[in-house]
Each structure stands twice: as structure tokens, then as C-alpha cells.
Amino acid sequence: MTLALKTKARLSCLPFTLLLAVLATRPLWSSEPASVPAWLISSLSTVPLLPVFPGVARGNKRAHIWLCLILLFYLVSALLRAMGDAAAQHASVVLALIGVQFVFSILWIRRENDPDTSATAVQ
């Protein structure tokens, strides 16, 4: 992978890193009762995204495909929280990050499928 592709792979990982950070700080944003520990909520919301993080950081096409699938579940959850929760501000930030990451991943997948711009193309 060339230096430009590595840079683009890391740049496409930026919204993913921000999404992980926002999801990890979710208990700080919400005013939910403290019946469940904050560390448990943070870990349950970030753990499903962690296995695909190394692949997305390397620019792996399959990892981006899996990330798009996983993001759909987070999208539904954020939409439900935005419509009926007092922490709609947090949900709107999560929605924006999910949208940006989804677009970045789809563009990365399309770039990998295009024979003119793929990493295996002869220049």
C-alpha cells in the first residue's frame, strides 16, 4: 500500500475513532438513572465495534463492509434515542458520525472495486 493510500485509510478511520469516543462517553451525556454502572454501558456500546477497528485502520475492504453492517444497528438505536430520549443532543452527534463513517466506508469500498484506483492496479 502506498503512502497516499495509507493516509487515506487513516483519514477514513477518523470518524470511526470519534464515534468510539462518543459512544464510550455516552453515560456522561445522558441523565439515565444509575441502576447500571457507567463502565458497563460504555463497554457494551463500544465492544461490538472494536473487532473491525484494526481492519478499517489498515484499509481492509472486508472490514469496511462489516463496519457498514454494524453501523446500521447503531443507526437504528441512535434514531430511537433521538426521537424519544432527553439526551437527543448525544444521539444527534452519534447520527452525524455514523452518517460520515458510512459514507467514508462506502467510498472506500467503491474505490477498492474500481480497477483504475484499486491498490492492485498497475500504474
SS (H, E, C) 77-122: HHHHHHHHCCCHHHHHHHHHHHHHHHHHHHHHHHHHHCCCCCCCCC
Is 102:68 a contact under the CB 8 Å cutoff? Answer: yes
**Conformational region of residue 32, where left means phi above 0, alpha means psi within -120 to 50, and beta covers everything else:** beta
Comparing 2-11, 18-27, 59-68, 90-99, the range with the smallest average pLDDT is 2-11
Domain extents in the chain: 3-28+37-113
- Summarize pLDDT for 13-65 with one digit per residue, the tens: 888 899 899 888 877 776 666 677 777 878 888 999 999 999 988 888 899 99
Mark residue 59 as left, alpha or beta (left: phi above 0; alpha: psi -120 to 50; beta: remaining). left
Rounded to two decimals, what is the model's pTM? Answer: 0.79
